[in-house]
Amino acid sequence: MVAVYVFNNQGQLVGPVESPRVEVSDADWRNRLTPDQYHVLRRKGTEPAFCGTLLDNKLHGVYHCTGCGLPLFASNAKFNSGTGWPSFFQPVAAENIAEHADRSHGMTRVEILCARCDGHLGHVFEDGPRPTGRRYCLNSEALNFTPQESLARLADPAAEPLVAPAAPDPAPGSIAGRPIAQAVLAGGCFWCTEAVFEQLAGVVDVESGYTGGDSATANYRQVCNGDTRHAEAIRITYDPQRIRFDQLLDVFFDAHDPTQLNRQGADVGTQYRSAIFFADAAQKQTAEAKIAELTAAGAHVRPIVTTLEPLGPFYRAEEYHQNYARNNPGQPYIQFQAVPKVCKIREKHAAWVMPGDAGRPAP
């Protein structure tokens, strides 16, 4: 991993964020790059002076690595050095450029490379203009240009945890004219709980998200710290004429261990607490009755520690968390944690499960 600055989906430069190094075989680089790009980036070549396509580019925007897309320089640091190569007095972020001493061709120079893919960019000299006094001398072939108004196109997955805080979603009222209801439950990792409820007949939608804390910390990176008051939760949108809230609770209590305080197995922290976020007095009453019923029946050896909390704003999680089990069926965590829960519910509550649900993760 490398700590770099990247663009988020609103076209803002954010960081430093951890991004995986781009390590590709030489044959793949040959496929990905044009011969001229390959010569510069992977063979430390230099293009002829005054020939590069970006030398005279005066547009506002950002220059990024041809090899991996990492943003490197901005137009507001570009100047005419007279050398015949695109020149800048500073990078968008020092983190994004690696410097190496280069003693080739009988000279001592400082080579500059892309910090993420190790592609050769050019050299940096100490004879540049103010304010830095540096001259980053680039090969056009190492750079692609994106104009200012299109920077959101450079959105990098590594930026996702740092995007602006999510706005709470309004609750929908009906689907195709039929009233719908919602339930917000937390029972450990939301990848698993989402997969469990998505297979139920009458469930219209299940979203993974955060609730219990405030908007500023409603993102995966901060919730992981365990001190945001958020729980990893799911919001189930369902048709109450096909499945009832108390039936959802039956599934909920069978799919996780409600006697574990602030944990589910190896997942430890208050974000993994067992909780029912009730939207109204009726949901609260139903939840209390269900816990009393399970306790009276001796369903668990140890006491149920599920908390009942009034529902506040629900913040939908980052897009890559939605339908995680469905989209990542081969992931070991899904194989060993989510699939057994999905299967257990399919057996125990067969009557409530959609027949031939194509979306379930394959066991």
Contact residues for Zn ion (CB under 5 A)? 65, 67-68, 70, 114, 116-117, 119
- Catalytic residue selected from 65, 68, 117, 137: 137
Quick one: 143 or 311, whose CB is closer to Zn ion?
143
- Clarify whether 137 is annotated catalytic: yes
Q: Is 51 a catalytic residue?
A: no
Q: What's the min distance (Å) between Cβ of 207 and Zn ion?
A: 35
Nearest Cα to Cα of residue 322 among 239, 225, 234, 237: 234
Rank residues 71 and 258 by Cβ distance to Zn ion and give the closer one: 71
CB of 116 to Zn ion, least distance (A): 5
Decide: 5 and 15 in contact? Cβ < 8 Å. Answer: yes
Chain CA centroid to CA 317, Å:
9
DSSP string, 55-106: TT---SEEEEETTT--EEEEGGGEE--SSSS-EESS-S-GGGEEEEEE-GGG
In angstroms, give the least distance from the CB of 120 to Zn ion. Answer: 10
Measure CA 348 to chain center: 34
Q: Which is nearer to Zn ion, 4 or 183 (CB)?
A: 4
Of these residues, 189, 192, 224, 343, which one is catalytic? 189
Torsion over CA of 129, 131, 134 and 138, rounded to 10 degrees? -80
CB closer to Zn ion out of 143 and 248: 143
| Shortest distance, position 96 Cβ to Zn ion, whole Å | 9
Residue 26 or 347: the one with the smaller Cβ distance to Zn ion is 26
Minimum distance between the CB of residue 224 and Zn ion, rounded to whole angstroms? 28
At 77, the amino acid letter reads: A
CA distances from residue 340 to 200, 225, 267, 334, 362 in whole angstroms, order as listed: 16, 27, 16, 9, 10
State how far the Cα of 39 lies from the Cα of 120, in Å rounded to an integer. Answer: 9
Positions annotated as catalytic residues are: 137, 189
